[in-house]
Amino acid sequence: MDLWTVFFCFLLVTVRSEVQRDFSPECREFMYMGTPPRGLENRSLKKICQRYNGKPRYVTLYDVVDHIPVYSAYTFKRSDGVKKVDVPWMFEPQLSTETDSGEMQPFPSNDVHESFAEAQAILEDYSNIVDFERGHLNPDEHQAHPDDKAATYTLTNVVPQIREFNVGYWKQHEHIIRRRLNNYCRGKAYIVTGVTTSGKMIRRNNIDRVAVPTYLWSAYCCVDYDHNAPFDERSKFPVFAAHGLNEKEGAEVIEMSVQQLEDFLRKNTFVDKRFQIFFGNCEPNDAIMSVKT
């Protein structure tokens, strides 16, 4: 057995991800009441259970035509927001080939990237791009364990973000949410972060390759929170949301209720009238009654 075979066998054991027709029970644990956002139906959207070192880490709804995630849904982990990990960027082979292995792998160092390019973004799509950076939907600063952080470094979890927006307003928003949930969420917090698009594309070799988000949006749900928190913070529980314009200017992130965000997305993207981010709007009593009936 040569060294390359040994290396890829190692990858198959340690780094896993899978595309699913429907999210499995263990992957539904990353969504409130085990329920993904509803009202997002499209043949080009694929459900990915992102796995790393043998464990599911979060879930992603991925568009194999626009080559970006529509959203990533994850559970927040308390962290200092500082430590990062040094891992290679990864891709999802099941989006490009028929396989039962469920393996997510680091990009190889040679030109075989192009064999994956029909159904997903590849590293070359983000090379020599001045205005855009690879912006995480599930950011590593919202995770604590090194493996959870490492699992966010896949191109199935990133979108082209204007650099000034990525390192400015949106990064500040991620800090605010991390501090708020660190301080006032007593139980598990569920977060869904997604995008809207308007037709702008990153082109490579004169071909449209990767959709550029017009807006990024995010919402969290934490039903077990500190009821003695200051009112300005307590009023943002159990559920709150925000969106920001992915531009150099006018890109301020605006916080709002989840219902306001849902109304905004119904008007500005392809979700249908049933669109709902969290089951029962993250209202535990209504959600439990709905399940019982």
Query: Tens of pLDDT along 215-227?
Result: 999 999 999 999 9
Structural domains of the chain, with CATH? 25-290 (3.40.570.10)
Q: Which of 12-16, 33-37, 196-200 has the lowest mean pLDDT?
A: 12-16
Question: With contact defined as beta carbons under 8 Å apart, do 138 and 224 qualify?
Answer: no
Closest CA to 197 of 137, 251, 246, 241: 246
pLDDT tens per residue, range 261-275? 999 999 998 888 899
Pairing mode, if any, of strands 55-63 and 68-75?
antiparallel
pLDDT of residue 249: 86
pLDDT of 97 reads 63
Chain position carrying tokens 């039962």: 100
Rounded alpha-carbon distances, angstroms, from residue 237 to 18, 87, 171, 186, 258? 33, 35, 21, 11, 11
Give per-residue pLDDT as tens, 153-196.
999 999 999 999 999 999 999 999 999 999 999 999 999 999 99
Q: Residue 211 pLDDT > 90, yes or no?
A: yes
**186 vs 104 pLDDT, higher one:** 186
Confidence of residue 88 (pLDDT cuts 50, 70, 90): very high
Region 93-109: what's the mean pLDDT? 70
Residue 232 half-sphere exposure toward CB, CA atoms < 13 A? 3
Share of the chain above pLDDT 90, in %: 65
CA atoms within 13 A on the CB side of 251: 21
What is the pTM assigned to this prediction?
0.89
Q: Report in angstroms the alpha-carbon separations of 89 from 60, 107, 136, 228.
A: 16, 6, 12, 42
C-alpha span between 212 and 203 (Å, rounded) = 10
CA angle, 139 then 131 then 175, to 5°: 25
Reported as a pLDDT band with limits 50, 70 and 90, residue 2 is very low
